[in-house]
């Protein structure tokens, strides 16, 4: 089964970034000179996937517009001779084919994934959360696709977190069947301290078989009264199997203010035009502290 579609839920209210996100989708907050969502989409495209299903909500049209063709802007840039910017804008509009699905109620990540069933149908698919940025030499999604193609079962990306943070994540327990690959025996959403034997935390990358939709249809509200994708994954694990992959790369939680600042510093230092000056500025600031 070939993976050809990626689902990106972008319907969240972004309350952790209020008041900035009162009218601006949190996924459109810029890291240096690109919105967060573009980094996610570029990872998906670099992994060989061109069809993206955006799970949106009211007030999120700016995300769809960002990846659409803009006649007025392209004409203006061409007339002004701003050819580098024109090339960048055209690159964005040609990145992906977009389909949008509305999540009419904020009922959780599991619900957001579930509303895409009529679009994805009976295919395996990628899920990428717009809050999680992963910097790696080989795209994280591409790494996971290799695991999926080998084991033919759903795969979640994981990383080890400090013991005092396990209650913030979905945590997996399981047997390591090869370096970095685990056959999951148990997956728990935001477990109570001391209730799990693992610190392998699920982050915002999944490759899911279509059977997840049936599991979601049978999943009752869980933590926070929401339909938790983690609960449906545990059902899928019990019925046919589930793997975890400890990816190579560095993850930034751009949905958290501190994580967002960390990501901004990282991408600022790597920026081809600004990196050198920014590095020097940080050194000057550090000397003053």
Q: Which pLDDT tens digit goes with each residue over 28-81?
A: 999 998 999 999 999 999 999 989 999 998 888 888 888 888 888 888 889 888
* 144 lies in the same domain as 269: no
Q: What is the pLDDT of residue 74?
A: 85
Q: Give the CATH number for residue 86.
A: 3.90.550.10
138, 198: one domain: yes
What is the number of domains present in the chain?
2
The answer to whether residues 279 and 176 belong to one domain is no
Q: Which of 133-137, 166-170, 180-184 has the lowest mean pLDDT?
A: 166-170
- What are the phi and psi torsion angles at 101 (to 5°)? -125, 135
Residues 109 and 9 in one domain: yes
pLDDT at residue number 105? 83
| The pLDDT value given to residue 193 | 79
For the chain, where are the alpha helices, taking DSSP H only? 36-46, 61-66, 71-79, 83-93, 109-114, 117-120, 140-151, 212-217, 229-239, 257-270, 275-288
Q: Is the pLDDT of residue 202 over 90?
A: yes
Structural domain boundaries enclosing 283: 256-289
Specify whether 110 is located in the same domain as 222: yes
Q: What is the mean pLDDT of the chain?
A: 90
| Residue 8: band (very low, low, confident or very high) from pLDDT cuts 50, 70, 90 | very high
Assess whether 197 and 280 both reside in one domain.
Answer: no
Query: Do 211 and 268 fall into the same domain?
Result: no
Same domain flag for 248 and 262: no
What is the DSSP secondary structure assignment for residue 161, as one 8-state letter?
Answer: -
- Is the pLDDT confidence value at 1 over 80? no
Residue 264 has pLDDT above 80, yes or no: yes
Other beta carbons within 10 Å of 67: 18
- Is the same domain home to 238 and 281? no
Q: pLDDT tens digits for 231-260?
A: 999 999 999 899 999 999 999 999 889 999
pLDDT digits (tens, 9 = 90+) for 224-238: 788 889 999 999 999
**271 vs 15 pLDDT, higher one:** 271
Helix, strand, coil in percent for the chain, rounding step 5 = 40, 25, 35
For the chain, give the percent of residues with pLDDT over 90: 60
Judge if 201 and 159 occupy the same domain.
Answer: yes
- The whole-number pLDDT of residue 57 equals 87
Instruction: Give the confidence band of 210 by pLDDT, cuts at 50, 70, 90.
Output: very high
* Shared domain check, 15 and 139: yes
Q: Which residues contact 254 (CB under 8 A, 6 or more apart)?
A: 29, 31, 36, 130, 131, 132, 133, 260, 263
Whether a cis peptide bond, with omega within 30° of 0, leads into 19 is yes
CB atoms within 10 A of CB 142: 16
Same domain, 143 and 265: no
pLDDT at 188 over 80: yes
Q: Is the pLDDT higher at 80 or at 132?
A: 132
């Amino acid at each position: 089964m070939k993976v050809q579609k990626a689902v990106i839920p972008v319907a969240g209210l972004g309350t952790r970034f209020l008041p900035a996100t009162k009218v601006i989708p949190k996924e459109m907050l810029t890291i240096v000179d690109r919105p967060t969502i573009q980094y996610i989409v570029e990872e998906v495209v670099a992994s060989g996937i061109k069809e993206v299903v955006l799970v949106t909500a009211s007030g999120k049209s700016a995300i769809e517009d960002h990846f659409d063709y803009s006649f007025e802007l392209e004409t203006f840039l061409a007339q002004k001779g701003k050819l580098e910017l024109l090339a960048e804008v055209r690159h964005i509009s040609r990145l992906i084919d977009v389909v949008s699905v509305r999540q009419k109620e904020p009922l959780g990540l599991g619900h957001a994934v579930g509303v895409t069933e009529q679009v994805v149908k009976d295919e395996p698919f990628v899920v990428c959360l717009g809050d999680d940025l992963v910097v790696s030499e080989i795209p994280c999604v591409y790494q996971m696709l290799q695991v999926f193609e080998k084991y033919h079962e759903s795969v979640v990306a994981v990383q080890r977190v400090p013991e005092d943070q396990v209650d913030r994540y979905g945590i997996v327990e399981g047997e390591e069947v090869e370096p970095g690959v685990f056959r999951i025996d148990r997956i728990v959403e935001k477990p109570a301290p001391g209730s799990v034997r693992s610190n392998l935390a699920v982050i915002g990358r999944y490759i899911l078989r279509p059977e997840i939709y049936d599991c979601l249809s049978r999943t009752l509200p869980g933590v926070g009264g929401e339909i938790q994708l983690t609960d449906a994954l545990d059902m899928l694990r019990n019925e046919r199997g589930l793997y975890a992959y400890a990816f190579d790369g560095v993850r930034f939680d751009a949905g958290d203010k501190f994580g967002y600042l960390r990501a901004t510093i990282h991408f600022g230092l790597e920026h081809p035009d600004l990196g050198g000056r920014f590095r020097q500025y940080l050194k000057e600031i550090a000397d003053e502290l």
